[in-house]
Structure 1
């Protein structure tokens, strides 16, 4: 098989294709290290939460370590989740132009090999989780039920993005679980705001595959909203900003956090304005930009936490 043929269709020219040893490439593609954007998006609610909670506690002595642990955990668990997704979706992936070159449908790894790799990644995630308190450990483990059912949702509901939101926003309660060993309404409202953010950005992402999805019977909010997508994006992004803002208010944050939220909101408004129906390449670029939106909010929360702890 030629080098070009082994590449994933929407992830060519990255370091996995050009630098990584050939035998590692199918596994790096399974865990999406050729496309780390999903890991960053999983990480953002973790970082928001742990910095907001640290600011409320007035203690940032453990914040640097918590940020690093969440970074490793997010990449490990997103990789495990993607591997599980590829195992369960291997037949559907073979029918979609963008995904048929993924390692399992392309014959680069077997299902058994993929499952073994999944277990190894999950063990890394568990090792990270065990660095936290008991409440945080059980809170983290609870997310596995949502991760397990997500790949099947696109077969039975027009709203699989809600389930993805539940999974990808789990970091919002995790930060509070780590810092306080408990959850409160500040964490719950932050979680709700993150879910709305995920629904919107994954709707944008799903517009890449809208024609293939219709042919093979995959459901999504992109297909559901269709030409009303821009209005839906405005609604869910606005809800995200309002709910996250309510969480900041409940957490008693200062000017820096609100400035971060304002920058986050402006970025989301820019995304809505730029979005174009039928332009899959642009949809992917807008989707990618959500890492930057999340980092803007994180930066504001981080500065606020440091100021409050001083």
Structure 2
């Protein structure tokens, strides 16, 4: 007789010291893992463009006390909407995830959560996100509703295009438009340029990330820029990293940014240059470390934009 398969007690690519595995009640852990609470880097990468949008709006206009709520609301929204998006992604990718070593320990393919339970959990998170969105004004509300189409499409992109990272960028950087609109009541050239720069940044970091799975992706027919670029990936990520810096520079100029905003952009650019230098496509450990390091790159820019606006 075959021994029963043991249910995994952690997701293999989660940080070993993550708070979910250490502190959360055991009954909560599958649901928190489904939302990627054990891997907060995705929440940061969704949140940081929102904070760029707030910072650019404060530079273009004036800082207001309401901006504190916009920044906090973006944080809450990033947590729950990233959780809802990851839940949707795992529902749609459950068959693929079961065939990939890095993802077969996720809650749905490992049997910890049913598809029906995942759908309910996704709806609960989305409703919390909606409640927060309703506090940000009509322009932001309509932008938030429009973003759902991008979130819905992204999990399927890897099935029909070699550029799923573009679709991820379209979804993950939408917050720069939404946060600007929450402050300004509409959209301008600065957030549009920052949005384009964020998309280029996403292609940069998610190509690095996708190099962890190129062999498994090739076996099951999943497309990615990592597979498309292959051995030329260092050259391509340098191109998209440079494009991100250029477009963000135009966004800062359009908003009327001062010296500190430019210092923040320089720090962001140097961080991307360091990642490019360290990048090793054949080392999953290096790829994962660099992917996570993009929190620091985006945070440098966000902090200096805010300080530039205030000072």
TM-score, normalised to structure 2, is 0.97
Where do 5+ consecutive residues of structure 2 fail to align?
Answer: none
Contact 1:186-1:251 at 8 Å conserved across structures: yes
Q: Is 2:76 aligned against 1:80?
A: no
* Equivalent in the alignment of 1:5: 8
Among 95, 102, 106, the residue aligned to 2:106:
102
Query: RMSD of aligned C-alpha atoms?
Result: 1.2
Moved over 4 A (4+): 1-4
Measure, in 2, the Cα distance between the counterparts of 1:159 and 1:214.
15
- Give the match for residue 224 of structure 2: 220
Which stretch of the first structure deviates more once superposed, 59-68 or 202-211? 59-68
Question: Shift of the alpha carbon at 1:6?
Answer: 2.7
CA deviation after TM superposition for structure 1 residue 55, in Å: 1.9
Deviations 1:134-192 (A, max 9, x none): 11101111000010010001011000000000000101111221011111111111100
Q: For each residue in 1:47-96, what CA deviation from the matched residue of structure 2 results, as whole angstroms up to 9, or x when unmatched?
A: 00011102211123222111111000011100000000000000000000
Which one is further off, 11-20 or 191-200?
11-20
1:186 is aligned to 2:160: no
1:34 aligns with 2:38: yes
1:84-163 counterparts in 2 under 5 A? 84-163=88-167
Count of residue correspondences = 307
Partner Cα separation in structure 1 for residue 17 and residue 98 of structure 2: 22
Partner secondary structure for residue 43 of structure 1: helix
1:233 aligns with 2:241: no
For 1:112 and 1:4, locate their aligned partners in 2 and report how far apart those are by CA, in whole Å.
19
Shift of 1:3: 8.5
Cα pair 1:60 1:305 within 8 Å, conserved: no
Is the 8 Å Cα contact of residues 80 and 118 (structure 1) preserved in structure 2?
Answer: yes
- Other structure's SS at 1:5 match: coil
Question: Whole-Å Cα distance in 1 between the matches of residues 9 and 86 of structure 2?
Answer: 18
1:218 alignment partner, SS class = coil
Matched, 1:289 2:305: no
Cα-to-partner distance string for 1:92-143 (whole Å, 9 max, x where unaligned): 0000000000000000010000000000000111011001111110111100
Question: TM-score scaled to structure 1, two decimals?
Answer: 0.97
Aligned twin of 1:253: 257
Q: Secondary structure at the residue paired with 1:98?
A: coil
Report the secondary structure of 2:212's partner residue.
coil
Contact 2:56 2:191 in 1 (8 A): no
**Counterparts of 1:76 and 1:103 in 2: how far apart (Å)?**
18
Separation (CA, whole Å) in 1 of partners of 2:140 and 2:6 = 43
**Cα pair 1:50 1:174 within 8 Å, conserved:** no
